[in-house]
Structure 1
């Protein structure tokens, strides 16, 4: 890995993402951060993030001694981050280094965005920045987390929590969900979809979905939802209902509901609304300025309904979303 200076100048005007790597950190989450924020994306045509790694020591032994990380910036690089991803590791009972916790506190004090993947929530809580805030962590550590940090409002059965300037993801794979959510928040749905396609990963799983989704081995015939999902995605502009989805899958609405819960961790109506809203956002990003047309083409019906959903999902109106992510903003 190329060596980086602790006070390296920005390689661009892009938002800087810095990952702190500490002793016994998990390689998977480090890889997720690198894949989402660190790769060049010529297919998009612009630099999304200025990405770098840092560590409190010149040589960092990764989880279970799998390998040693060297040649990255020192911990001072954390002071240059617009977004700081904090360390995570499996031994959550071992306190973090004071220097790492101080770096997290400094970043929070100056307004940087903080991100914790999996057990990274423990690092944020140890630093004291989660007091009174919502967060999540892997379900197997939920009881331990609540016992150690009772002032944190832990949501233990969701994929990730976006609490504004502090975001946390549950299990390891949820790091990808949260990473793509951050890209979507920063650059819009179209760019996030491009990143997810390169990852060959689901473009959008809502943070409120359950961490643990039962996946029993199905009896024949195949009970996969993939065919009905693909069918529905081609018809989002039509008045589809849950009954229509059930009829297409040749099952009752109740059976369809159970399959959605088991395979996707959500309900058919929530999934359908989410897909329609994602289509609406893509239409806006591609230049459609007529809110009524966006609502109709995405199957959301009325401009008022679209505005309500956009505010709930993104916190801004369709017109504000267009100013931020539309063609004129690129």
Structure 2
């Protein structure tokens, strides 16, 4: 999405009073650590507030942004940080100035409860979105016209993207870098930030529910084993056998530990592997399908389209420009 390699993509971070401090730091850290192969910065991050006013965070200190909302006019992407309290959380309202400033931007993102701000500005009406699971019920009451999914890390709806709580903002920023510049650049950024290179947006949030203690009897070792055999047939009997459990116990423990069934988890890993192959290799679609465990190009197309909305060759063109 960068207009010109010589002109870094400008990201403007909007900060509101009682902002979440990590939400403010994430865009500057992640996008600021993104360089091309020649070592040139690919993003410029600026921070703004309404009237360039000092804003106080939920951790008990105040920041003074360098810009007011006029900087949004020159931004390629706008990021709204999460907030703790205030009118937007209580009654779903924001100032007319902020609402107008957020309209008609090329790309808008929110981290955590920043989605309340986007919804209050009318940017999420009729769209899929997410927010922190803890605030999902309140969000649904205030903004019933938004198609809220409280169970995912982030939602990419093209020009409007939302993430779940706190650390999910890291995943969303890295996803945007991956979308803008491909997996190699995103992976370099992840290494620089010492973070995992990829957590799929559809992965479940870490909700407040009891999990069994592992005690060496969980399914983690089998999940690692599955990842080394994505191209092979893997049925429940084989997986349970590897874990030394009955099929019923394995299925229950797997769902408790991952939030999904073994089949759904395996499909997601295969889709992720297929995406990496499409992004980083010149393998034909049939070979990508075989190595990812889908068997046929038809099956790969069906699963990839369900996951990201495009067929394999269109996906490759998006990430590699070929």
Alignment TM class, shorter chain as reference: 0.7 to 0.9
Partner Cα distance (1:257, 1:282) in 2? 28
- Size of the aligned set, in residue pairs, is 315
Is the contact between residue 84 and residue 113 of structure 1 (CA under 8 Å) also seen in structure 2?
yes
Q: Retained in 2: the 8 A contact 1:44–1:194? A: no
C-alpha distance in structure 2 between counterparts of 1:150 and 1:314, whole Å: 25
**Alpha-carbon deviations, 1:123-148, whole Å to 9, x = none?**
01211222222222223323322332
Q: SS at the partner of 1:64?
A: coil
1:157-180 per-position Cα deviation (integer Å, ceiling 9, x unaligned): 333322232222222222223233
Which of 83, 101, 105 aligns to 1:89? It is 83
Q: How do residues 304-323 of structure 1 correspond to structure 2 at under 5 angstroms?
A: 304-323=298-317
The one-character-per-residue Cα deviations of 1:221-258 (angstroms, maximum 9, x if unpaired) are: x2443322222222222222333222222122332322
Distance 2:130 2:222 in 1: 32
Q: 1:11 to 1:184 in 2, by over 3 A?
A: closer
RMSD: 2.9
CA distance in 1, matches of 2:59, 2:289: 53
Query: What residue is the counterpart of 2:245 in the other structure?
Result: 251
Give the structure 2 partner of residue 104 of structure 1.
102
Unaligned runs of 5+ in 2: none
Q: Are residues 1:216 and 2:211 paired?
A: yes
Specify the alignment match of 1:62 in structure 2: 56
2:223 match: 229
String of CA shifts for 1:289-328, please: whole Å, max 9, x gaps. Answer: 31111111222111111122222223322222233334x7
Does residue 158 (structure 1) correspond to residue 155 (structure 2)? The answer is: no
Does structure 2 conserve the Cα–Cα contact (< 8 Å) formed by 1:27 and 1:62?
no
CA 1:325–1:132: 2 relative to 1, 3 Å:
closer
> Hey, what's the Cα distance between the residues in 1 that align with 2:208 and 2:183?
25
Per the alignment, do residues 139 and 44 of structure 1 end up closer, same or farther by CA in structure 2, a change over 3 Å counting? farther
Note closer, same or farther for the CA distance 1:207–1:180 as it changes in structure 2 (3 Å cut): farther
2:201 pairs, out of 206, 221, 235, with 206
2:117 alignment partner, one of 119, 123, 129: 123
Structure 2 residue corresponding to 1:182, chosen from 169, 173, 176: 176
TM-fit CA distance, 1:211 = 4.8
Q: Spell out, residue by residue over 1:63-97, the C-alpha distance to the aligned partner (whole angstroms, 9 max, x if none).
A: 23632223522221112222211232110227434
| Structure 1 gap segments, 5+ residues each | 1-9
Q: 1:146 aligns with which of 140, 151, 154?
A: 140
Question: Which is further off, 26-35 or 93-102?
Answer: 93-102
Contact 2:186–2:197, Cα closer than 8 Å, also in 1? no
1:283 aligns with 2:312: no
1:238 and 2:232 equivalent? yes
Distance 1:190 1:103, change over 3 A: same
Query: Does the C-alpha gap of structure 1 residues 224 and 82 become closer, same or farther in structure 2, counting only changes over 3 Å?
Result: farther
Structure 2 length normalisation: TM-score?
A: 0.85
Per the normalisation by structure 1, the TM-score is 0.83
For residues 208 and 303 of structure 1, what CA distance do their matches in structure 2 show?
A: 25
Q: Secondary structure at the match of 2:131?
A: coil
Hey, what does 1:3 align to over in structure 2?
none
Distance 2:318 2:197 in 1: 24
Q: Which deviations, in whole Å up to 9, do the C-alpha atoms of 1:82-116 show, x marking residues without a partner?
A: 22112321102274343222211242xxxx12112
Distance 1:40 1:135, change over 3 A: closer
